Amino acid sequence: MNTAQLNVISVLLDWLEGNLDQPLSLDDVAAKAGYSKWHLQRMFKYATGQNLGAYIRARRLSRAAVALRITSRSIMDIGYWYHFDSQQIFTRAFKRQFAQTPGSYRSAADWPFARIYPPINLGVARIPTPDFITLDETRLVGVTNSYCNTLEQIDDFFRQDIRPRLWHQYLEKSTTLPPMLYGLNRLVPSDTKGHRQADMIFHYTTACKPGQLQQHMSEGQPVVVERGTYAKFTYEGPAADLHNFIILAYGTAMPNLGLTRRQGHDIECFYSQSEHQCSTNCILHCEYLIPIRN
């Protein structure tokens, strides 16, 4: 396969990832790539080692698994969203990939990533490798903001990263920076009774250790980070690229390592910058901690 054909498959993989909730017949995909469907399937198999149709199905089921864990959308609606013709067909396909029904996958206390099928990476992005640490109980003080979203809105919401704005709000009255700024986040299914227009709620707490920002002590609330084991992913780069790094950690590194996420907050530890304010263009030094089961 020549470089031009490899580039076609790389662009196609990105396009597929952004359109898994759209109708994707082989004819549609071939038209996008500009090849006959027979030739495209041969090219895809050669470049990735995977059958094109099977790959699309595995990625849709993986996205559906995520939706089951983070949204309150019904199983039937999630199946339809990812173009399974009935709940029975969706349940049968889901059970083949995950060895359990969608209902049992959703209700389990822990979230296993071993059977999630990662998006194929043809070498453009480096997959982060975690260290495994035990974090002692940590007491913080912070301010929590919550955002309601639907399944349809979630990608757009995270592309418009809210972190810099929340950091500014939290630090605007302070004349000094804390040695470390914490971000605690959780993405949880909505309470359908209280949030009829939302499938999920994103909670984000901006925090620091008590006494480091006296101006905020009256505004912040006590926050306790429980002791436990975490997969620690280290990021250094533009603030605007942090979300893509988190997607790689969750969508590829966690499944590749067969890790299981336990309940709790994700913890973001940001080391102090020389500048008081941080924009989407500033360089971050961040440790991103995901709670895992031993």
For 9-54, write each residue's pLDDT tens digit. 999 999 999 999 999 988 889 888 888 989 899 999 999 999 999 9
Q: What does pLDDT average to over the chain?
A: 88
285 falls within a domain: yes
- 186-190, 214-218, 251-255: least confident range: 214-218
Q: Residue 59 has which token pair?
A: 């990625």
Q: Are residues 176 and 211 in the same domain?
A: yes
Q: Are residues 264 and 163 in the same domain?
A: yes
Q: Which domain holds residue 14?
A: 3-108
Alpha helices in the chain (DSSP H): 3-17, 26-33, 37-48, 52-70, 75-81, 87-98, 102-107, 154-159, 163-171, 242-248, 254-257
Task: Please give the average per-residue pLDDT across 60-66, as a whole number.
Answer: 97
Tens digit of each residue's pLDDT (9 = 90 or more) over 119-152 = 998 876 789 999 999 999 999 999 999 999 998 8
Q: Are residues 9 and 137 in the same domain?
A: no
pLDDT band at 273 (very low <50, low <70, confident <90, very high): low
262 falls within a domain: yes
* pLDDT number for residue 192: 60
Q: Are residues 253 and 135 in the same domain?
A: yes
The number of folded domains in the chain is 2
Q: Are residues 102 and 163 in the same domain?
A: no
Q: Are residues 164 and 66 in the same domain?
A: no
Q: Residue 67 has which token pair?
A: 């939706």
Q: Are residues 254 and 142 in the same domain?
A: yes
Task: Please give the average per-residue pLDDT across 175-197, as a whole number.
Answer: 78
Q: Are residues 93 and 150 in the same domain?
A: no
Judged against a pLDDT cut of 70, whether residue 191 lies above it is answered with yes
Q: Give 268-276's long-range contacts (Cβ < 8 A, gap of 24+).
A: 268/182, 268/183, 268/184, 268/185, 269/180, 269/181, 269/182, 270/167, 270/180, 270/181, 270/182, 270/183, 271/179, 271/180, 272/177, 272/178, 272/179, 272/180, 272/181, 273/177, 276/171, 276/177
- 74-78, 121-125, 150-154, 267-271: least confident range: 121-125
We report the CATH number of the domain holding residue 9 as 1.10.10.60
Q: Are residues 155 and 88 in the same domain?
A: no
* Sheet with 200-208, edge to edge strand ranges: 131-135, 228-238, 283-291, 266-271, 180-189, 200-208, 138-149, 221-225
Q: Are residues 81 and 215 in the same domain?
A: no
- 54-63, 87-96, 134-143, 272-281: least confident range: 272-281
Q: Are residues 281 and 137 in the same domain?
A: yes
